[in-house]
Amino acid sequence: MRLSMIQAFIAILSTALLMFLLRAFPFILFSKRKPPQILSFIEKYIPAMVIGVLLVYCLSDPKYLTFTSAPWGIPAITGICATILLHLWKSNSMISIFGGTIIFMVLDSLI
């Protein structure tokens, strides 16, 4: 079933409005009062937990940790070390995550 231009425009507009409202909801809700303690806890500890889960997930693939044949785990270990070093150097999650990912992807395609 094909959508007409008006139907597609209405779908895009309603999706954009819903996305805006979902993003604005926490700011609207907590603009006048302090967030609950559970949200403060989540804000403080969730990033480290997510990185830990991603680390376990990424290293669970045997392709990246086979030390008996190429690439001998070099891309995975180098990417992890680069991420750690970038984070210690810049203390910026975005730089460390993207930098480590780029280094991993480049090494994974070259080796």
Residue-wise pLDDT tens digits, 52-78: 887 787 777 766 666 666 677 788 889
Predicted local distance difference test score (pLDDT) of residue 66? 63
Q: pTM (2 decimals)? A: 0.55
Distance between the two ends of the chain, CA-based, in angstroms?
46
CB 86 within 8 A of CB 95: yes
Predicted local distance difference test score (pLDDT) of residue 63? 65
Predicted local distance difference test score (pLDDT) of residue 111? 80
Q: If we measure between CA atoms, which residue out of 19, 86, 22 comes closest to residue 51? A: 86
Instruction: Tell me which residues of the chain have a pLDDT lower than 70.
Output: 62-70
How many CA atoms lie within 13 Å of 94's alpha carbon, on the beta-carbon side?
0
Predicted local distance difference test score (pLDDT) of residue 69? 67
